[in-house]
Chain A
Amino acid sequence: MTAQQSESQTTVSREEAMAPEAPLIRVENLTKVFSTRKSRRGLGLLPNKQTREGFCAVDDVSFQVQQGQTFVIMGLSGSGKSTIIRMVNRLIDATDGSITVGGKDVGAMMPTELRSYRNRTINMVFQHFGLFPHISLVNNVAFGLKVRGIDRETREAKAAEALTLVGLGDRIHAMPDQLSGGMKQRVGLARALATDAEILLMDEPFSALDPLIRKDMQELLIKLQRDFKKTIIFVTHDLNEAMYLGDRIMVMKQGKIVQCGTALELLEAPADPYIEAFVAEVDRSRVITAGMIARRETPSGAPDHESNRGDTPVRVAADIFLHELLPILATGTEQLQVVDEHGLPVGKLTAGEVFSALSPSKGNSNAS
């Protein structure tokens, strides 16, 4: 009881104290070595150094995640991405390095504190959904709240609300095995949303889904993220998905970081042939947003004389993807005014700039 109280107090003070630049999650020199030997006892004949030898799944990885950001860890299987995500909520203990979330060292948490951290601060969505097959959807979603000790009526109401958010409000009493894969993952998402935790860990959540359903789920996540502004660590092996969803992307290979940056940085300057090969496959029109390539301008209220035809530019949102601009450009519009969510101007864009951003083998045309 006292532990829970002190936990909630620190949560409040943390939010107040945190400067906008301070990252919510700070990972430093994280390393995980899995012992290849099954039993560490052995015969006791080998010196200690030998037994430490093993498979290094994560090798000296450091990164930071800002509050409200979607941070994608991308890599092929065996690159250590799932291990990293499990070390962030300590389903796996790190061999070396530190993870600090909101100023607290995750590795040093005592069991009670760790449970409270997992329940209130950080939740997880699993690749194979991880739904309990013997209880209905509403009880699945309410699980985290039940763990917290919230009474049945309140937690079921909350769970039903979360299920409505993901579009399953009419099926709250269905059983998991009555649902398709996409619907199951909606439940997984609802379960993580229901606890109001500020951090979401998503371990290849959409990898087991059909491409069309996957697209739906990605759009759902983006929609939810606009409302909730969670801090997300998202693991995927699909660079298209990584670029579509991620504010920042960390590409991993064999436990090491290959490159870490925004989607545009990865597209513009792939660090090595490994990433170049990935980038070649990416559908740029669904990755680059208007805001990414807009020419920044000083926000002055003065009318714009640059415009060559004198017509007022079409206003488009900064987070709109380039493929959504194509119908607008098809009507002959040349000038675009990019605005942020409050309607304030971010920058300008011409049709030519849009098209050159879409062509893979360009120089740095958008720098203009």
Chain B
Amino acid sequence: MRLDLGTWFAEVIDWLLANFGWFFDAVSWLVTLLVGQVSGVLIGLHPFLIIGLLATLAAVLTRSLGLTVYTMLAFLLIVSMGLWVESMSSLAVVLVSVVFSLAVGIPLGIWAALNSRVSAVVRPLLDLMQAMPVFVYLIPAVFFFGVGTVPGIAATIVFSIPPAVRLTELGIRNLDHELLEAAAAFGAKRGLTLKDVQLPLAFPSIMAGVNQVIMLALSMVVVAGMVGAGGLGGVVVQGVAQLDTARGFNGGLAVVILAVYLDRVTSGARSFGDVMRSRRIRKEQRAAEKMTAVAAGK
């Protein structure tokens, strides 16, 4: 007996297309609008202004001189390679898909952490999403959304959700059991425990998830170029199709530059929370010292 699961899957896709076409049209409209707006800003402003902003962001979040200098030089290199517009449209695609991935992935991760049954259902689903070769997502995505940027984003979102879910769940589940007991022993509701104890302590793990989501989204950008998503993916695909080594290398290098920038900035942001916290505490301590000095002076 031959079980043709692939045909069934295709039938499900057809059925979805026939009955939920309006939904996919709406998603398509929303995503096109968002990407249009974001890339409009990134491409519309002068490259030097954007580079300045990116460098400032790197400086503020990571407080690393090296990364700031890298940002300026590397993005100037992109400009000089003539790939600025493509890079910015890829960045726009990455940003929009990351926002969607996180909006789905983090709440799902929290839910899975609090509810073992949800976790049991979600885990194999995530395995499937991660292990499935990425090109496979593109086929139904093209059916749903046609050719262009939107199927690329849709495939990117599906591909990049798993680390957001996994690392959020892991961060929350890995907490010291005694802390949860302490919260419960003082009569805290689940919501308050989540907000005041679990989420703040899981923050580094969640940020690691954000970092992973961004990197996966960026790696998907090139693949999405195959369905006409444009941007750097388009450049690389052109290079491959025309056997143009130079163009392919330039496109690839620009992807690497974006990847390094996004990775360093988001992993730096993980410690940014700590920096802000210790700064706030130092401030409070100084205030307290002043108060005790006044009290002693009396």
Task: Give A residues with C-beta under 8 Å from B.
Answer: 86, 89, 91, 114-120, 123-124, 126-136, 143-144, 146-148, 170, 172-175, 191, 195, 201
Given A170-B292, A173-B285, residue A130 in contact with residue B181 (CB < 8 A): yes
Contact indicator B186/A174 (Cβ below 8 Å): no
Q: Which residues of B contact A126 (CB under 8 A)?
A: 178, 181-182
Contact indicator A173/B182 (Cβ below 8 Å): no
Contact indicator B186/A123 (Cβ below 8 Å): yes
Q: Which residues of A contact B287 (CB under 8 A)?
A: 173
B53 lies within 8 A of chain A by Cβ? no
Contact indicator B186/A134 (Cβ below 8 Å): no
Give the CA-CA distance A89 to B187 in the complex, in Å: 10
Q: Which residues of B contact A148 (CB under 8 A)?
A: 187
Some 28 contacts from A to B, beta carbons below 8 A apart, are A114-B187, A115-B188, A115-B189, A118-B184, A118-B186, A119-B187, A120-B187, A123-B185, A128-B176, A130-B179, A130-B182, A130-B185, A132-B179, A132-B182, A132-B197, A133-B201, A134-B200, A134-B277, A136-B284, A143-B188, A144-B187, A147-B187, A147-B192, A173-B281, A173-B287, A175-B281, A195-B186, A201-B185
Give the CA-CA distance A118 to B284 in the complex, in Å: 31
Given A126-B181, A130-B178, residue A173 in contact with residue B187 (CB < 8 A): no
Q: Which residues of A contact B197 (CB under 8 A)?
A: 132
Give the CA-CA distance A89 to B183 in the complex, in Å: 12
Contact indicator B186/A91 (Cβ below 8 Å): no
Residue of B whose beta carbon sits closest to that of A128: B178
Contact indicator A115/B187 (Cβ below 8 Å): yes
Nearest 5 interchain pairs by C-beta = A119-B187, A130-B182, A118-B187, A115-B187, A124-B185
B73 lies within 8 A of chain A by Cβ? no
Give the CA-CA distance A367 to B111 in the complex, in Å: 65
Residue of A whose beta carbon sits closest to that of B282: A173
Contact indicator A147/B284 (Cβ below 8 Å): no
Q: Which residues of B contact A91 (CB under 8 A)?
A: 181, 184-185
Q: Which residues of B contact A195 (CB under 8 A)?
A: 186
Interface string of B95-131 (1 = CB under 8 A from A): 0000000000000000000000000000000000000
Contact indicator A173/B189 (Cβ below 8 Å): no
Contact indicator B288/A173 (Cβ below 8 Å): yes
Residue of B whose beta carbon sits closest to that of A201: B185
Q: Which residues of A contact B183 (CB under 8 A)?
A: 143
Q: From DSSP, what is the main secondary structure of chain B's interface residues?
A: helix
Contact indicator B281/A136 (Cβ below 8 Å): yes
Q: Could you count the A-B residue pairs with CB atoms below 8 Å apart for me: how many are there?
A: 78
Residue of A whose beta carbon sits closest to that of B197: A132
Give the CA-CA distance A127 to B177 in the complex, in Å: 12
Residue of A whose beta carbon sits closest to that of B192: A147
Q: Which residues of A contact B192 (CB under 8 A)?
A: 146-147
Give the CA-CA distance A127 to B292 in the complex, in Å: 32
Contact indicator B284/A117 (Cβ below 8 Å): no
Highest count of chain B CB atoms <10 Å: which of A89, A114, A135, A147: A147
Give the CA-CA distance A226 to B185 in the complex, in Å: 25
Residue of B whose beta carbon sits closest to that of A172: B288
Give the CA-CA distance A116 to B181 in the complex, in Å: 16
Smallest beta-carbon distance A46→chain B, Å:
22
Q: Which residues of A contact B185 (CB under 8 A)?
A: 89, 91, 118, 123-124, 130, 201
Give the CA-CA distance A143 to B187 in the complex, in Å: 10
Residue of A whose beta carbon sits closest to that of B182: A130
Given A132-B179, A132-B197; 19 other pairs, CB 8 A cutoff? A91-B184, A91-B185, A119-B186, A126-B181, A130-B178, A130-B181, A132-B196, A133-B201, A134-B201, A135-B200, A143-B183, A143-B188, A146-B192, A147-B186, A170-B292, A172-B288, A173-B284, A173-B285, A173-B287
Contact indicator B188/A147 (Cβ below 8 Å): yes
Interface string of B192-210 (1 = CB under 8 A from A): 1000110011000000000
Q: Which residues of B contact A124 (CB under 8 A)?
A: 181-182, 185-186
Residue of A whose beta carbon sits closest to that of B289: A170
Q: Which residues of A contact B184 (CB under 8 A)?
A: 91, 118
Residue of A whose beta carbon sits closest to that of B187: A119
Give the CA-CA distance A124 to B183 in the complex, in Å: 10
Residue of A whose beta carbon sits closest to that of B203: A134
Q: Which residues of A contact B284 (CB under 8 A)?
A: 136, 173
